[in-house]
């Protein structure tokens, strides 16, 4: 009963936190005259990736490396196969050129780099973590200096600039609510799963990863409902980049991460690469530079297949 209560309270905090975070992100983009997709890929992505960072560092330090790795790999798959799928089923997103010339390629480079580091020796070393974090800084500098709007966004009438103190307040409260909600949800989910004797990798790649992806889901769904599609798409692509470069980078700098369950190397990382690549053709087909409900159904089917083969 206690685990179910944690899950419900966690969901409530996540939905509220997503709303507050979105308010601060929109207001910040207006105040700084920065395209909203950049705010989505930086401020919102970092806040919604905070649960992955906290969970991964704690898991690695506590001696559960598969929970740490499975959390990030599973979250990246869930962000695209579950969160993006639900988001574009709710409302289509029109995409511009810089999405596939910058944002998607960086996500693929980060994914391939991580897979290359981990695949051959089964360890993410400290120097490899430094390389990942360094690449993140280069990407952020590029974003802030050169990135153009990558998504056709509607300007709703409620885009009103907020005072700086309100932006900081909403950002702080929203980020804290997302973190607290994720913690409650993960505790409840792990409590339920552990009673079935499931392995660390499977718990990490399914339950924990979905739990830590719910901030992205909450922020993205609220963004779509409020017609802030640029923040929605930028948040998801940015979160995947942050998960690989920041979460695993920082975690491996603190302590090297060793793969314990070979299923992560023989299966999970290839599912992550597959769904990351799949986004590109979906953007072009059947309608050019657009993600619609049919694409969402394809991504959901991919994710359901992944979950089936993981837990069977």
- Whole-angstrom distance, CA of residue 161 vs CA of residue 289: 30
Q: pLDDT of 171-193, one tens digit each? A: 889 888 877 887 787 777 777 77
pLDDT at 159: 57
What percentage of the chain exceeds 90 in pLDDT? 22
CB 300 within 8 A of CB 276: no
256 exposed, middle or buried (CB, 10 Å; 0-12, 13-18, 19+)? middle
CB atoms inside a 10 Å sphere around CB 62: 10
Candidates 227, 207, 256; CA nearest to 61 is 256
Strand partners, 94: 290
User: Is the model's pLDDT at 150 over the cut of 50?
Assistant: no
Domain range list for the chain: 1-149+162-311
62 phi, psi to nearest 5 deg: -85, 0
CB 269 within 8 A of CB 74: no
Residue 93 token pair = 């997103």
* 271-279 mean pLDDT: 94
User: Is the model's pLDDT at 231 over the cut of 60?
Assistant: no
CB 51 within 8 A of CB 183: yes
- Whole-angstrom distance, CA of residue 100 vs CA of residue 44: 20
Helix (H) / strand (E) containing 291: strand 290-291
Q: pLDDT of 236-265, one tens digit each? A: 787 889 889 988 999 999 889 888 888 889
CA distances in angstroms from 246 to 50, 55, 70, 84, 91, listed in the order given: 10, 13, 15, 21, 30
Q: pLDDT of 92-130, one tens digit each? A: 887 777 677 888 899 999 999 999 999 988 999 999 999
CA distances in angstroms from 304 to 206, 307, 310, listed in the order given: 11, 5, 10
Q: How confident is the model at residue 157 (pLDDT cuts 50, 70, 90)?
A: very low
Query: What is 1-149+162-311's CATH topology?
Result: A middle domain of Talin 1 (1.20.1420)
CA distances in angstroms from 184 to 5, 20, 54, listed in the order given: 9, 19, 13
């Amino acid at each position: 009963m206690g685990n179910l209560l944690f899950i419900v309270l966690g969901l409530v905090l996540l939905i509220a936190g997503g709303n507050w975070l979105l308010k601060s992100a929109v207001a910040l983009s207006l105040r700084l005259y920065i395209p909203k997709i950049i705010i989505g890929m930086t401020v919102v992505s970092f806040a919604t990736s905070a649960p992955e960072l906290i969970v991964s560092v704690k898991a690695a330090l506590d001696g559960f490396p598969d929970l740490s790795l499975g959390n990030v790999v599973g979250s990246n798959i869930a962000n695209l196969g579950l969160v993006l799928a639900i988001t574009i089923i709710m409302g289509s997103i029109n995409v511009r050129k810089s999405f596939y010339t910058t944002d998607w390629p960086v996500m693929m480079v980060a994914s391939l780099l991580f897979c290359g580091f981990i695949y051959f020796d089964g360890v993410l070393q400290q120097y490899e973590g430094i390389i990942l974090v360094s690449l993140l800084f280069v990407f952020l500098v590029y974003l802030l200096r050169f990135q153009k709007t990558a998504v056709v966004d509607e300007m709703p009438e409620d885009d009103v600039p907020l005072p700086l103190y309100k932006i900081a307040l909403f950002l702080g409260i929203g980020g804290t609510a997302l973190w607290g909600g994720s913690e409650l949800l993960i505790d409840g989910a792990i409590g339920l799963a552990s009673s079935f004797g499931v392995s660390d990798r499977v718990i990490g790649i399914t339950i924990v990863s979905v739990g830590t992806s719910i901030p992205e889901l909450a922020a993205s769904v609220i963004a779509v409902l409020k017609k802030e599609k640029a923040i929605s798409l930028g948040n998801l692509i940015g979160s995947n980049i942050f998960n690989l470069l920041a979460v695993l980078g920082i975690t491996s700098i603190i302590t090297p991460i060793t793969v314990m369950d070979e299923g992560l190397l023989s299966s999970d990382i290839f599912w992550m690469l597959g769904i990351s690549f799949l986004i590109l053709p979906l953007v072009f087909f059947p309608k050019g530079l657009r993600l619609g409900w049919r694409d969402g159904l394809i991504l959901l089917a991919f994710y359901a297949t992944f979950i089936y083969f993981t837990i069977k």
